[in-house]
Amino acid sequence: MLLLLLLLPMSGLVTEALFGSHCQDRQLKPCTRGCSWGQERHFNGVANRVLPGHGYCNLTVASPVLCGRECLIDDRCFSFHYSKGERRCELNGATASRYPMAMIERAGTDYFGLEQPSFAELLTNGREVPISLTDCWYHTHASAASECRRTGQHLCIQWELDHASKEGYPATPPSWYADPDSQAVLTETGVTYQDLPLTAPSPGLCCSLPMTYRDPVITPQSYELADRAGQASGCSDLAAHPCTLAELKEAYDRGYKSGFWLYFAIPNRDASVARCTAHYGNECYQDTIANTPRPYPRARVYCCPNRV
């Protein structure tokens, strides 16, 4: 396991001479409008690791403490690298928790970011958990979802959070995930869900796990029968699509059961993922999935995770 280096809070610790000039160009911002830090900025380090591709400024300073000071006074900066031998300080516009799979080894250069010390264990123990916490904190679910999509990810759905928790992803503050009506918190003992805060901004939990077989998920909202676009959008928010009858049967064959009558891929019908009893013919798919042309006028949707 790599050495963990803990930096104290930066304020009041500037006691050494500063070499080189401050970064002058402060026009660009790394976050979209509405972004907030939402946290105290205490930097923790991982030795001999760097996050390439996100540096925007190089300085020469006497210590990592002074490099951290430069990061604190630049609102573009989310993390930094420090090379003791060269006294080189590189300011970054992203963190390792946003791009955990991008970290690489580089002898003599250390990474410093806002992550908890336990995050280093995740980076160095060989387990891959493609989940990331957005660097910015957002007031709305839509803003967090947009940030995930910007990097080819999606707000995590529940089974992805369960997987991340089992793999030892560090604890998180209350964060946006796929369900827009609640927030998720990863703890040492699992995942918990809580009601939305009134005003506090929150980060988003973004996922990009390879989709193999997964159980269907159900939209938190109900939709009108004719609102096919809304039904598809509700599934899309869960990184999924309205299930086909074949997918529902596959889920049933793998042990998934649900007695709810919900919409699915075929319009103007609803289905129940349970063995057919009183349904026959075209109302019973392959002797397994009951589905009828007499759906409720408003219902939720069975969504099957997209496979990539």
Q: Which tokens sit at 206?
A: 């973004």
Helix, strand, or coil (residue 161): helix
129: tokens are 């958990």
Domain layout of the chain by residue ranges = 4-124, 131-207, 217-305
> What's CA 246's distance to the chain center, in Å?
30
Top-tier CATH class for 131-207: alpha beta
Domains 4-124 and 217-305 share a fold: no
Q: Residue 131, SS3?
A: strand
**Could you tell me which of 79, 73, 111, 82 has the C-alpha nearest to residue 95?**
79
Q: How far apart are CA 245 and CA 260, in angstroms?
A: 15
Residue type, 109: T
The overall pTM is greater than 0.75: no
Fold of 4-124: Hepatocyte Growth Factor (3.50.4)
CA dihedral 112, 54, 200, 230 (to 10 degrees): -140
**To which H or E segment does residue 69 belong?**
helix 64-72
- For residue 257, what are its two tokens? 């059961």
Per-residue model confidence as pLDDT tens for the chain (308 residues): 233 343 333 333 333 333 344 565 544 444 433 456 555 567 888 889 999 999 999 999 999 999 999 998 888 898 999 999 999 999 999 888 888 778 888 999 999 987 777 676 666 665 566 788 898 889 899 899 998 888 888 888 887 888 788 877 888 889 999 888 889 999 878 899 988 876 778 999 998 755 455 788 899 899 999 999 999 999 887 778 999 999 999 999 988 999 999 999 999 999 999 889 889 999 999 989 999 999 999 999 999 987 65
Q: Which class would CATH give 217-305?
A: alpha beta
Phi/psi for 63 (5° steps) reads -160, 165
Residues in the chain: 308
